[in-house]
């Protein structure tokens, strides 16, 4: 039975079902090693962790909205588990300790990233050197997107050593409750209400669309953040044009109905390596308008098929909103395409990608068992 150790920051709700899938495979022995139980800026409500896992002694330094984890006790945790393959999901000190352990012990190492060629363009020379070092001693590579694969290829990694483990959600939960015909809101913005997510941009698009359509636009804001009071204040000045509703933080089980209450999802982010909120919107059958600064742009959200990919220009976004609200046949075609595209991103597929990468990395070690496991995942 191959033993896979996967080291990651903390348990995000959209990854937990993937770990459950991996742990349920009869021929895989998985242990997930978490650096922290929860990072301070996360309000996630987590399901039970049914897979084998350990939490390291929490130790991190905040750098803006990022947290640099430094857990030397990852080494004794790896010694106790004695894995056949080690997966790391970043380059914090904790991950570098695990990588060094893998090299010293001759254990196959597999990097796993949500990053893309675009998101890592501004890295320092030092950060890139660390990646080159780690990649040069790794056997296989896991990316969440096409952008992640391009990132690996930019370091000279052959395509055949790159595997995909997509970011995904419980599509069926959104199909069941998210595609209701009654739409109480024209637009929805869902995510942290902070400057990087551009909620004021979404509000301005709502106002301009109202002017063009000659009626109020109903927009729903879901989430909390440092700009919430500012957005509320701005919305209070636009009541002749915009009827804004602020839901606040939403529990995971409430999200499908919230998306289902709206017609179009606005995702004007200034930078997201992927954007799981787009999975949620697409699975609820919503057309999506997204900036090119999200990893979903051109992959899950295809311009002219299930939404629009547009630069952060209010006039262009307003034109897209108005076009969809005025043309029901176009709207319905885009909505149906969102459902189709969302269906390609599944927990089973994500788990299979991880197993396939481990099988490749292990080479002759446990190949048959890993191959059997990846077949069962599909």
The per-residue pLDDT for range 211-226, each reduced to its tens digit, is 999 999 999 999 999 9
* Greater pLDDT, 227 or 121: 227
Q: Band the pLDDT of 202: cuts 50, 70, 90.
A: very high
- Mean pLDDT across 65-90: 94
DSSP secondary structure code for residue 96 in this structure = H
For the domain made up of 3-168+346-377, the CATH class stated in words is alpha beta
160: pLDDT strictly greater than 90: yes
311: pLDDT strictly greater than 70: yes
Least confident of 51-65, 219-233, 286-300: 51-65
User: Counting beta carbons within 10 angstroms of the beta carbon of residue 53, is it exposed (0 to 12), middle (13 to 18) or buried (19 or more)?
Assistant: middle
166: left (phi over 0), alpha (psi -120 to 50) or beta: beta
Q: What is the pLDDT of residue 83?
A: 97
User: Counting beta carbons within 10 angstroms of the beta carbon of residue 293, is it exposed (0 to 12), middle (13 to 18) or buried (19 or more)?
Assistant: buried
179: pLDDT strictly greater than 60: no
d(CA 338, CA 55): 37
Yes or no: say if 368 and 27 are a contact pair by the CB < 8 Å rule: no
User: Counting beta carbons within 10 angstroms of the beta carbon of residue 18, is it exposed (0 to 12), middle (13 to 18) or buried (19 or more)?
Assistant: buried
DSSP secondary structure code for residue 115 in this structure = -
CATH of domain 171-342: 3.40.50.2000
265: pLDDT strictly greater than 50: yes
Count of positions (residues) in the chain: 378
Q: What is the pLDDT of residue 370?
A: 47
369: pLDDT strictly greater than 80: no
In the structure encoding, which two tokens stand for residue 130, read together? 């660390």
Least confident of 7-21, 195-209, 279-293: 7-21
In the structure encoding, which two tokens stand for residue 223, read together? 């989430």
41: pLDDT strictly greater than 70: no
Q: Which helix H or strand E contains 163, and what residues bound it?
A: strand 162-164
CA 32, 36, 40, 46 torsion: positive or negative?
positive
Helices (H), the chain: 16-24, 74-81, 93-105, 125-136, 146-154, 171-177, 199-213, 228-236, 255-260, 276-283, 314-326, 328-342, 347-362, 367-377
In the structure encoding, which two tokens stand for residue 226, read together? 């440092």
Q: What is the pLDDT of residue 300?
A: 98
Domain with CATH 3.40.50.2000 in the chain: 3-168+346-377, 171-342
d(CA 118, CA 294): 9
Q: List the one residue out of 86, 87, 91 whose CA is nearest residue 128.
A: 91
371: pLDDT strictly greater than 80: no
Threshold 0.95, pTM exceeds: no
- Mean pLDDT across 319-348: 97
């Amino acid at each position: 039975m191959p033993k896979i150790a996967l080291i990651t920051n903390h348990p995000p709700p959209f990854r937990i079902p993937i770990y459950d899938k991996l742990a349920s495979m009869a021929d895989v022995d998985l242990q997930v090693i978490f650096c922290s139980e929860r990072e301070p800026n996360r309000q996630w409500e987590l399901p039970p962790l049914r897979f084998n896992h350990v939490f390291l002694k929490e130790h991190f330094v905040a750098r803006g909205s990022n947290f640099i984890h430094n857990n030397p006790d990852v080494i004794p945790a790896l010694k106790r588990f004695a894995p056949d393959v080690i997966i790391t999901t970043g380059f914090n000190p904790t991950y570098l300790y695990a990588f060094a352990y893998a090299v010293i012990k001759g254990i196959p190492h597999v990097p796993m990233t949500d990053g893309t060629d675009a998101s890592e363009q501004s890295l320092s020379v030092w950060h890139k050197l660390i990646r080159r070092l780690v990649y040069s001693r790794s056997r296989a590579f896991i990316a969440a997107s096409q952008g992640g694969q391009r990132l690996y290829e930019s370091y000279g990694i052959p395509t055949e050593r790159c595997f995909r483990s997509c970011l995904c959600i419980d599509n069926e939960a959104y199909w069941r409750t998210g595609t209701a015909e009654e739409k109480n809101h024209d637009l929805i913005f869902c995510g942290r209400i902070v400057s990087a997510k551009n909620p004021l941009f979404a509000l301005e698009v709502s106002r301009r669309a109202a002017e063009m359509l000659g009626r109020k636009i109903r927009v729903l804001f879901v989430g909390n953040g440092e700009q919430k009071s500012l957005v509320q204040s701005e919305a209070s000045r636009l009541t002749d044009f915009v009827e804004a509703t602020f839901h606040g933080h939403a529990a995971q089980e409430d999200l499908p109905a919230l998306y289902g209450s709206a017609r179009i999802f606005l995702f004007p982010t200034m930078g997201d390596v992927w954007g799981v909120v787009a999975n949620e919107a697409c699975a609820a059958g919503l057309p999506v308008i997204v900036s090119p600064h999200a990893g979903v742009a051109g992959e899950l959200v295809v311009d002219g098929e299930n939404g629009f990919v547009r630069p952060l220009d209010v006039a262009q976004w307003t034109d897209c909103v108005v076009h969809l609200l005025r043309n029901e046949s176009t709207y319905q075609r885009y909505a149906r395409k969102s459902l189709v595209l969302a269906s390609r991103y599944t927990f089973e597929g994500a788990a299979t990608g991880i197993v396939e990468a481990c099988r490749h990395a292990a080479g002759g070690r446990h190949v048959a068992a890993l191959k059997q496991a990846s077949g069962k995942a599909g």
